[in-house]
Amino acid sequence: MAMMEKNLTGSTKEKQLVIDSDVHAYFDSIEELVPYCDESLQKRLNIGPFKKKAFNGKVVSSAEFRFPECRYINPLSVLRLDAFAPNGSIPGADPEFVAKDLLDRTNTQYAILNSANATMGAFHNVDVANGFNSAYNDWQYENWCEKDSRYKMSMLVSPLDPVAAVKEIERIGKKPGVVAVNLQTTSIPFGKRNLYPIYEIAQEYGLPMLVHPDSEQSGENSPSQAVGPASTYMEWHTCLGLMAQRNIASLVCEGVFERFPKLKFVFAEYGMGWLPGLMWRLDKNWKALRDEVPWLKNRPSEYIRSNVRLATQPIEEPFRPKDLLEVIQMAGAEDMLLYSSDYPHWDGDEADRVFSTLPKELKHKIFYENALNTYDFNR
């Protein structure tokens, strides 16, 4: 499966095939969305020819549209300063440059683009959210997926409007570049029945759910991270893992994977160090409390292993490097992990540097095979 490559000193080495489960495409300006929005949506987003006039050079800010934004500000830039394109566009905004700087350099066969504006997916004005989602999906498809077939994408839908989400999946969910449904965390745990219409069509279309921050604590969406709000970005970012633990517990206990056995959930950027403990506690409780969840025919950990996938960035860095392998083995998670770079973000994992302590076969699974078994790239 791996390509042979010659290097300058004449020796040969295998270059690892890579599928990258988390890359972010940016628009350089939101005005790029104008061609994909009707007049009403342009007015609501305050873009295009109807954009409000400035008074003395300033827009009255309370009248401007605002994306639901994360309340926690990274004191560093969230964008890699080495990823600006030569044409001056911001990191992640030039498909050609990203193809060179990321795909070519790291031997990436497919990169899955997850919207950096995903907080809009769960915006509570669902008409604006649905309009934005469709516009964004079309913009990304035309400007990225159609320009380089290595770009694949998760499509935005609103978990707050499952009927509209189903329609959007019907509209574009069979296009060859669309390989997942981007579902944001809200204050509705993912196991709740509200969301089943989305799961039903996603399973039918062979699309896994993709879950990625930042709707946590963003704008009016703001699902809680347990207990109460964090004070710093460091505290908030560390606690992102709680959202995945909570949602996985909900998915398993509610029997979603019994009802939709082919549906997969990919959690990106939530970590995996908590996985063994979550599995153990779920299995232990299930032994005593299974009367509550009679629909579960297998141990909870088995549903997690078969239906949940974890994108790896930011990968855990144990005190003893060998413990990364130990944790994977403890959980039996060899088939669950999907490499992701999070390009062009600040804390990205580079394909040629992560997983150096793992055996070769396991690396190949994480870098390539597990993604092939999760996404359908031959649509």
Residue numbers 205-264 binding a copy of itself by CB under 8 A: 223-235, 237-239, 241-243, 245-247, 249-250, 253-254
Q: Taking the CA atoms of 63, 69, 72 and 75 in sequence, report the sign of the dihedral they define.
A: negative
DSSP reduced 3-state for 324: helix
Residue nearer to a copy of itself on the CB measure, 281 or 363 = 281
Rounded to the nearest whole angstrom, what is the least distance from the CB of residue 26 to a copy of itself in the complex?
A: 21
DSSP codes joined into one string, 109-133? EEEEE--TTGGGGG-SSHHHHHHHH
176 forms part of the interface with a copy of itself (CB under 8 A)? no
Task: Tokens for 364, please give them.
Answer: 């190949």
Contact 370, 110 (CB under 8 A): no
Residue from the set 48, 176, 206, 332 that interacts with a copy of itself by CB under 8 A: 332
Rounded to the nearest whole angstrom, what is the least distance from the CB of residue 281 to a copy of itself in the complex?
A: 5
Rounded to the nearest whole angstrom, what is the least distance from the CB of residue 113 to a copy of itself in the complex?
A: 24
Rounded to the nearest whole angstrom, what is the least distance from the CB of residue 180 to a copy of itself in the complex?
A: 20
DSSP reduced 3-state for 60: coil
How many chain residues are in contact with a copy of itself, going by CB under 8 A? 73
Cβ neighbours of residue 126 closer than 8 Å, sequence gap 6 or more: 158, 160, 161, 164
Find where tokens 């509610």 sit: 254
Contact 37, 48 (CB under 8 A): yes
Report which residue type is found at 245: Q
Residues 286-325 within binding reach of a copy of itself (CB under 8 A)? 286, 288-293, 301, 314, 316-320, 323
Residues 30-89 within binding reach of a copy of itself (CB under 8 A)? 74-76
Cis peptide before 321 (omega within 30 of 0): no
Residue nearer to a copy of itself on the CB measure, 16 or 313 = 313
Residue nearer to a copy of itself on the CB measure, 97 or 343 = 343
As a whole number of angstroms, the longest Cα–Cα distance in the chain is 68
Site track for a copy of itself across 340-359, x = CB under 8 A = ------xx------------
Residue nearer to a copy of itself on the CB measure, 166 or 239 = 239
Site track for a copy of itself across 129-168, x = CB under 8 A = ----------------------------------------
Binding segment for a copy of itself (CB under 8 A), chosen from 141-149, 157-165, 200-208, 265-273, is 265-273
| Closest C-alpha among 264, 246, 257 to residue 187 | 246
Cβ neighbours of residue 40 closer than 8 Å, sequence gap 6 or more: 131
Residues 177-196 within binding reach of a copy of itself (CB under 8 A)? 185-192
